[in-house]
Structure 1
Amino acid sequence: MLRGGARNADVARELSIPVGTIGSWKHHDRARRGECPGRIHATCPHCDGTLDNPAYSYLLGLYLGDGYIIQPKGLRVPWLAVTCGATYPGLIDECEKAMRAVLPHNKPFRARKQGCYDVKVYSKHLWCLFPQHGSGRKHERKISLEPWQQAIVDAHPWDFIRGLIHSDGCRMTNWATRLVSGEKKRYEYPRYFFTNKSTDIIRLFTDTLDAVGVAWKQANSRNISVARKADVALMDQHVGPKY
C-alpha cells in the first residue's frame, strides 16, 4: 500500500497500526532498497559549511542526554534517535524541527513506544556530525567535544543548555519549612535539575553554565542544581520548563 503511494495515516487506519510504526516500516523498506531520503545530497552539512549551528547546538544537547546512533544489520544508512516523553509534545516538535534544520535533505519521523516517542532521522553523515558515538553506554566511556563542536557551543551556549535540560533535566518546584514566630511555614521556590551518570557530560553542562554566568551546585555525583532566584530567572528566560 505504501509503495503504491498510500498515505501513512491511511495505512495506519486500515490496519489498526500506530502511524509511527507505519512510518518506521516505510523508512526501513526504503533504506533496504537504497532509497533513503538524503541519498541525493552527497555532502556533509558540517564539512561543506552549511550546518545550522544554533539547531546543531540544541540537537547535540539532546543527543548527549537521550540520543543514540545505530546502524542495524542490513541497512546502508545509520539513524539517529532521540527518545522524548509522550507527555511533552512540544519537546517532540522541537526535536524534529532541530533534525530538519541540521539535516535539511533528510526527513525525520516518529516511532511510538510505550510512554514515549523515538524521533529518528537517517543520514550517512551522522558519524561525522556526532563523533561522540561509540560502543557501550555514554557514562562508561569518555565523552568530549571536538574543537569545532566546542566552538559552536561557545557561540550558542543557551541552545546547548536547553538541549541538555530538555533531555536529562527538568524545572521543578521545591519546598522548605521555616519557623516564623514559633510557627512552621512552608516556602516554595522553582529550581532546575540536571541528572546524568556521565561525569564528562555533567562537566560539559556545568562548564557551559559557567560560561553564561549561571551559578550551580552539585547535589551528588549525578545531579546538578540551579536554585538561586536570579539564576532560575535567567534559565527561565532562555530554557523554560519542558512542555
Structure 2
Amino acid sequence: MYDISTRKRALALVSQGRSLNSVSKETGISRAAIRAWQDRLEPLPRMTAPAPEGPADEVAYAYLLGLYLGDGCISAHPRGTGYYLRIACADAWPGLLQECREAIMQVLPGIGVYTLQKQGCAAVTSYSRQWPHLFPQHGPGKKHERTIALAPWQQEIVDAHPWEFIRGLIHSDGCRITNWTTRLVAGGRKRYEYPRYFFTNVSADIRRLYTDTLDKLGVEWTQCKRDGTGFNISVAKKASVALLDTHVGPKH
C-alpha cells in the first residue's frame, strides 16, 4: 500500500511527460499501479513554468536555439496536453549533453529534463506547453523541406549573443578537425597540419543563418561541395579559426 503523497509524487513525474517505465524505475513502483492511480486520483496540474514573455535566460536560449536548429525537434504529447522538446546528442560528447541539459533548465527554470538513451546517442528531452512558442520554427515535416526564419525577437537575441548561437549550431551540426597537406621544403616533402571548422546542414535557410552570423562576427568562410552538394560551410583561415577556438572550441 502507498500513501497519497507517494501516489501524487509518481503522478507528478508522469505529468512532466515522463514515461511510466522511467517513473517506475525511479520510484520502485510498478507501472500497473501508476497506471491505475491515473484513473483513481484527480488529475494533477502539469508541472510547467508559467508562460513567459520570452526565455528566462537569453544567453542560454541563443545556445539552445542553435542546438534545436541542428539536432532538435518538437512533438506533441499523445493526449494533446503539451509538447516534448528533444535534442539529439552523440554519446561521444558527454560535455555537450550536460550543456544541453543546463541550457534547457536555464531557459525554463524548474522544468523537468531527462535523457532517453538510444544507440550511439541520447535524446535530451523536456516537456512543456511552451516549446512551440519558444521555437516557432516548429512545424510538420523536415526542417529542410520548409522555410526556417527567425522571429524578430529571436533575431534580437541572436544579435545580442551571436557566439552562443554559433556554439549551438557547431555543437549540433559542426566539428573541429585537423587537416593536413604536404609542402616541398628544401627539396623534400614535409607534412603540414592545420585546424578547420565544418558546419553541415541540408537546410539552406539554416546554413544562411549560420553564415550571416559569421559575417557579423568577422569570420571568413567558404562553401564546400561534397558529392556535388554544397551542404558544408568551412572556416579554415588562421585568424577566423582562432576566433572560433576562442568562443567555441572542439566538442567534449
Coarse TM-score class (shorter-chain normalised): 0.7 to 0.9
> Residues 175-223 of structure 1, C-alpha deviation per residue, up to 9 Å, x if partnerless?
1112223322111111100000000000000000011111111112100
**Where does residue 51 of structure 2 map in the other structure?**
43
Question: Is the CA contact (8 Å cut-off) linking 2:56 and 2:109 kept in structure 1?
Answer: no
Greater shift, 226-235 or 93-102, is seen at: 226-235
- CA–CA distance in structure 2, aligned partners of residues 119 and 3 of structure 1: 26
Deviation at 1:45, TM superposition (A): 4.8
Residues 5/128 of structure 1: CA separation in 2 closer, same or farther (3 Å cut): closer
**Where does residue 169 of structure 2 map in the other structure?**
164
Question: Is the CA contact (8 Å cut-off) linking 2:113 and 2:124 kept in structure 1?
Answer: yes
Matched, 1:52 2:57: yes
Question: Is the CA contact (8 Å cut-off) linking 2:84 and 2:127 kept in structure 1?
Answer: yes
Q: Which runs of 5+ in 2 are unaligned?
A: 11-20
Q: Which amino acid aligns with 2:22?
A: I
- CA–CA distance in structure 2, aligned partners of residues 5 and 196 of structure 1: 42
> Residues 20-69 of structure 1, C-alpha deviation per residue, up to 9 Å, x if partnerless?
x626988x979x8555431xx332251xxx62111000000000000000
- CA–CA distance in structure 1, aligned partners of residues 148 and 192 of structure 2: 39
What TM-score do you get using the length of structure 1 for normalisation?
Answer: 0.84
Residues 70/25 of structure 1: CA separation in 2 closer, same or farther (3 Å cut): farther
**Where does residue 135 of structure 1 map in the other structure?**
140
Residues 42/197 of structure 1: CA separation in 2 closer, same or farther (3 Å cut): same
Q: Which amino acid aligns with 1:65?
A: G
**Where does residue 245 of structure 2 map in the other structure?**
236
- CA–CA distance in structure 2, aligned partners of residues 145 and 106 of structure 1: 24
Matched, 1:178 2:183: yes
User: Matches of residues 30-109 of structure 1 in structure 2 within 5 Å?
Assistant: 34-38=44-48, 41-46=49-54, 51-109=56-114
Q: Which amino acid aligns with 1:203?
A: R
Question: Is the CA contact (8 Å cut-off) linking 1:106 and 1:121 kept in structure 2?
Answer: yes
**Where does residue 154 of structure 2 map in the other structure?**
149
Aligned length: 222
Q: Which amino acid aligns with 1:206?
A: T
**Where does residue 17 of structure 2 map in the other structure?**
none
Greater shift, 169-178 or 151-160, is seen at: 169-178
- CA–CA distance in structure 2, aligned partners of residues 23 and 61 of structure 1: 30
Residues 240/24 of structure 1: CA separation in 2 closer, same or farther (3 Å cut): farther
Matched, 1:190 2:195: yes
Amino-acid identity (%): 55
Runs of 4+ in 1 over 4 A off after TM superposition: 1-6, 23-26, 32-35
**Where does residue 13 of structure 2 map in the other structure?**
none
Greater Rg, structure 1 or structure 2?
Answer: 2
What CA RMSD, in Å, does the superposition of the two structures yield over aligned residues? 2.4
Residues 4/73 of structure 1: CA separation in 2 closer, same or farther (3 Å cut): closer
- CA–CA distance in structure 1, aligned partners of residues 117 and 76 of structure 2: 19
